[in-house]
Amino acid sequence: MLNDKLMDEILDDLQGTCQSLEDVLDSHNMELDDLSMKDLGYIDDSIFVCDCCGWWYELGEINPEIENAVVCMNCEEDWE
C-alpha cells in the first residue's frame, strides 16, 4: 500500500476536480498498475467520481435518491 502522505496527496489532487485517476497518478510519476487493490479500495472508501458530471466528491455528497448510479447532490436534476 502507498504511504499515507502520498495517498493523501492523490486524494487531495482528485477531490473537487474532474481529472482522471490516471492523470493524477501521472503527475506523481505513477501508473495505475502501481496501486494495489488495497490502495484502490482506500480511494473508493474516501471519495467517489459522479456518474453524471465526472467530478470527484466526498462520500457524504452521494445523492441517496438516485438508484443504480453514484451521483452527487448537484446532479439530481441533470440525472433525471
pLDDT tens per residue across span 36-54:
999 999 999 999 999 999 9
Query: Angle between the 37-44 and 4-14 helix axes, to the nearest 10 degrees?
Result: 50
pLDDT tens per residue across span 6-30:
999 999 999 999 999 999 999 999 9
The pLDDT, as a whole number, for residue 79 is: 79
Q: Which grid coordinates are listed for 15?
A: 477531490
Q: By the 8 A CB rule, do 25 and 32 touch?
A: yes
The pTM of this model reads 0.87
Residues in the chain: 80
